[in-house]
Amino acid sequence: MIDGFYRSQLPRVTNLSNQAQVRSCAADTRTMSTIIAISPSPLLPSAVGSGLAAIAAGSQQLSQDAAQIANPDNGDLITPLVDLSQANLLTQAGAAVIRTSNQTLGSLLDTFA
């Protein structure tokens, strides 16, 4: 940004002789996006994908906590036991997301059928 102007807003000078010529550049023209760009991106997570990710994270946390509890050298059992409860809640939340997504999809199909 130069003194309140973006570079694309400044005229482009191509000839520095007595009579300067000004041409527009590609950054000066704005194009509208097509309607195709509004469609959902496959890179965005779906509700089912988010639910599955939560279930996977809960399962992984459960495995780590179980290994800590089974380790006889571990003197602190309170932290892994609390984490087990959190892993259980995370897994239940993931399942609830998938269940709600399925119910919503079913309601939409019933409405439009």
pLDDT digits (tens, 9 = 90+) for 9-39: 555 545 555 555 556 555 555 555 454 444 5
Q: In the numeric block, which tokens belong to residue 111?
A: 């409405």
Residue 90 in domain: yes
Residue 72 in domain: yes
Residue range of the domain that includes 99:
47-112
Residue 12 three-state SS: strand
Higher pLDDT, 73 or 15: 73
Number of domains in the chain: 1
CA angle, 50 then 48 then 102, to 5°:
140
Instruction: Name which of 40, 47, 46, 44 is nearest 99 in CA terms.
Output: 47
Mean pLDDT over 106-110 rounds to 85
Residue 87 in domain: yes
Q: In the numeric block, which tokens belong to residue 43?
A: 């890179």
